[in-house]
Amino acid sequence: MSDIPRAMRQPFALKFGSAAFLAFWCLLAAFPIFWIAVMSFKSPVDAFAANPFDVIFGPATRAAGDGLSILDIVVGVVVLFYTVKLALGWLPRKVVEWAPGGQVWAGWIIGVIGYALGFVLFFFIVLPAVLGVLNPILGPLGNPVLGLTTIHYQSVWVDNQFYQNFLNSLLVTGGVVTVSLTVGTLAGYGLARSGSNIAFWLLIIALIFRALPHSVLVAGYLPVFINSAEILRPILGENAPTLYGQPLAVIAVLVSINQPFTIWMLRSFFQNIPNELDEAARVDGCTHFQAFRWVIMPVMWPGVITTGLFSFLLAYNDFLVTSLLLDATNQTMVPAIAGYFNRETTTTDQVEAVAAAVSITAPLFLLVMVFQRQIVSGLTAGAVKG
């Protein structure tokens, strides 16, 4: 510590205050999310118990015969640790080894899906079976100490068919990310490389569009979408579709709402790529489009991934647009959870709603874990350079 100049050294009170504030913030940031995750695994009596330790250890849940023994916890933690370790070390190596050159991304998709499936099979089917045999043999180590039940998840996902909402969410978010990146990279490149007045005004108009409340736009879509069969009949004939309730229409809407943000962000990433790169490609005889596709895009992946993440978040988190433009049969996850409000009369219903909420949050949690660096760079891209 002696190499720090004296004036920069901090008094103990300041150090302590700053550390305490940080600890308090971390607690504040994580507590609500941690708490609903804990609640979702308990029986209703425990989930809304007055004593916080009852919520964590779940005596009523344990009394009902659902619980983890010390052995379960130790084995579970070890398995989880190695899962993460393998996912970070072994999996990338194997993907690069096995995927044919140039199609590493396809290898990644297959690798990740296979890995996730293997984990689910092992963790939720093989492991409980093995531990079920081991627990009774071990005596005190095998007695349940931590109440835990997955019954709410079962009733949400299986009985209430939440998986259909999940599939709808998957369709909508997948569509939004793909289309908005395709359209957005083209526009972002064009805007970054053109210094003309039109490009400037387009960006300003996009900024204005960015500020519009979404309800204003939905007020414009809804009457048209509901009556679209009649409006489009003169053009498309008898099989004109009713756009209301169509996931494809919602994808188009969300892509457009997201476009202003996407092109601003991608433009700032494209501006970081030196202009000389395109010029070299152009000298070698590429057209603008070829230069874009074969020279610029290969070095743009970080920017594309970051922008894709934010498109994903917008589509995944949206409540307003999806709840108004989709009907009950093809609802996505976030509006579907509002359906629990009306039924939320017993505490069991409440805990089921909590389980549904945790199910929606889990993918986002994984996302932050894997892409933390990209999210941070995306947040700062617009601000620090802009």
Partner 1 sequence: MKFKTFIWFVGPSLFLMLLFIAAPLVSVFLDSFRITQPVVQTVETETCSAGFLQQTCTTTINTVPVIDEETGRVVTTTEWVGWLSYERVLEPRRAWDAIRSFDYNGLMQIDFWAALRFTVMFTLVTLPLVIGVGLAIALAVNNAAKSLRGPIIFVSLLPFIITPVIGSLSIYWLFVGDGILTRGLEAWLDRDIAMFAQAWTIELLMLFYRVWHVAPFAFVIFYAGLQTVNQDTLESAIIDGASRWDRLRYVIIPHLMPLIVFIALIHLMDSYRVFDEIVGFRAQAYVISLQWLTFDFLAADDAGNRAFSRASASAMLTMIGIVILLIPLLRRTWRDHKGGSH
Q: Which of residues 90-109 bind partner 1 (CB under 8 A)?
A: none
Enumerate residues 185-224 that contact partner 1 by CB under 8 A: 186-187, 189-191, 193-200, 202, 204-224
Q: Spell out the SS3 assignment of 90-122.
A: HHHHHHHHHCCCCCHHHHHHHHHHHHHHHHHHH
286 scored as a contact of partner 1 (CB under 8 A):
no
Helix, strand and coil in the chain, % to nearest 5: 80, 0, 15
Query: Is residue 362 part of the contact set for partner 1 (CB under 8 A)?
Result: no
Packing angle between helix 104-121 and helix 90-98, nearest 10 degrees? 130
Tell me the closest approach of the beta carbon of residue 226 to partner 1, in angstroms. Answer: 8
User: Binding mask 322-341 vs partner 1 (x if CB under 8 A, - otherwise)?
Assistant: --x---------x--xx--x
Q: Is 272 in the site for partner 1 (CB under 8 A)?
A: no
| Interacting positions 12-31 with partner 1 (CB under 8 A) | 14-15, 18-19, 21-22, 25-26, 28-30
Please tell me whether residue 252 binds partner 1 under the rule CB under 8 A. Answer: yes
Distance CA 78, CA 89 (A): 16
How many residues belong to the site for partner 1 (CB under 8 A)? 104
Q: How far is the CB of 3 from partner 1 (least distance, A)?
A: 14
The answer to whether 371 and 309 have CB atoms below 8 angstroms apart is yes
CA distance 282 to 276: 10
The reply on whether position 80 binds partner 1 by CB under 8 A is no
Beta bridge partners of residue 67, listed in sequence order: 147
Of residues 287-316, those binding partner 1 (CB under 8 A): 288-289, 292, 313, 316
C-alpha span between 30 and 46 (Å, rounded): 21
Among candidates 249, 250, 226, 216, which has minimal Cα distance to 334? Answer: 250
Does residue 256 interact with partner 1 by CB under 8 A?
yes
Which single residue is written with the structure tokens 């093995």? 130
Span 31-60, contacts to partner 1 by CB under 8 A: 32-33, 35-36, 39, 48, 50, 52, 55
In whole angstroms, how close is the CB of 238 to partner 1 at the nearest point? 14
Query: Minimum Å distance from CB 380 to partner 1?
Result: 4
